[in-house]
Amino acid sequence: MAEIVLENLGHSYLTNPKDRTDFALKPVNLTWQDGKTYALLGPSGCGKTTMLNIISGIVAPSHGRLLFDGQDVTQTPTVERNIAQVFQFPVIYSTKTVRQNLAFPLECRGVAPERIKARVAEVATLLDLDYALDMPARRLSADQKQLISLGRGLVREDVSAILLDEPLTVIDPQMKFMLRRKLREINRETGMTMILVTHDQSEAMSFADEIVVMKDGLLQQSGTPAELFSRPQNDFVGYFIGSPPMNMITLEPRDGALGTGALDLTKNLTIGTAGSRHQLGIRPEHVSLVAADAENIGVGTIKKIEHLGVDGVVTLQLATGVVIKAKTRKHIEMRVGQTLGVNVRTDDALLYVEGSLVHAG
């Protein structure tokens, strides 16, 4: 296991990059602690797989350094990095049995046969593959083959980190839930550092101790799931984290303060930002719906109700035409066309200037 440090690390696939737009991964500084679970989260093409491939040694960075436990491994070959990588699609030997597939990484390293047998049994039990150990891998389904691929990464006990490049894509939803839980258990039991690449925010939130959100090759925010949900540092993170995404309401300067006709809620006008774009960011989970004649800071008409089981998403149009969403468990008592009052705690209404969070005001 290892602490992984990215020092001003960046990469361009061009021979002579001229500016930041030519970088698939713009220079970034990050420290990933030994033994934690991490997720690289962002839309397709944002640079997360490039970052993962640099860590594994598949790609040599064009800028900066990569350190494992303080040792510079920027130019170290993959085979010497002690990394296990699991790819989006299963990488297995279809002519071998499940047992032989799981044993192969250990055989290549000269591990004693008795230890190989014991370790293969442990991993097979962990992934519920005991029943299939002597079956040819080619006879298994796509999600079972991916389990073998995961097992080939997990079977080694000497790895610095396990890198997971969207390995749950071909697995059905229930199996995804089980595997995320299993991976968390493995992390707690072994202390293996795990880094998961995904575009699924629910997957990232349920798996990782910390999440790195990326867009256009640039790190947007790094933090715990709770930090990213409660205080997104920009409007992109507010949009990408949370379902539905954060409500963004445009504010206008009013006698030295900022306000909107949609809600009776004001924010201080930040010095030096008078001509900038100001918005109020409110999570749908933080919108409280009450009777129209109860105490409120705004009134809206229900335009849509989406039933999601226990929770529901209610779309409301406020008095000024502003549309917001509220996530609530009271949705079964509501109907389209109904008028309701809206309440939001002041601390849950965040101020954004030109898309960036203002920490005071």
Output the average pLDDT for the chain: 91
247-357: what CATH class? mainly beta
- Per residue in 299-312, pLDDT (tens digit) is 999 999 999 989 99
Q: Output the 3-class SS for 136-163.
A: EHHHCCHHHHHHHHHHHHHCCCCCCEEE
Give Dmax over CA atoms of the chain in angstroms: 78
Q: What amino acid is encoded at 321 in this protein?
A: G
* CATH code linked to domain 4-240: 3.40.50.300
Domain map (residue ranges) of the chain: 4-240, 247-357
Tokens of 327: 């996530």
**Range scoring the smallest mean pLDDT among 61-70, 177-186, 243-252:** 177-186
pTM above 0.85, yes or no: yes
- Per residue in 259-305, pLDDT (tens digit) is 999 999 999 888 778 789 999 999 999 999 999 999 999 999 999 99
3-class secondary-structure state, position 8: strand
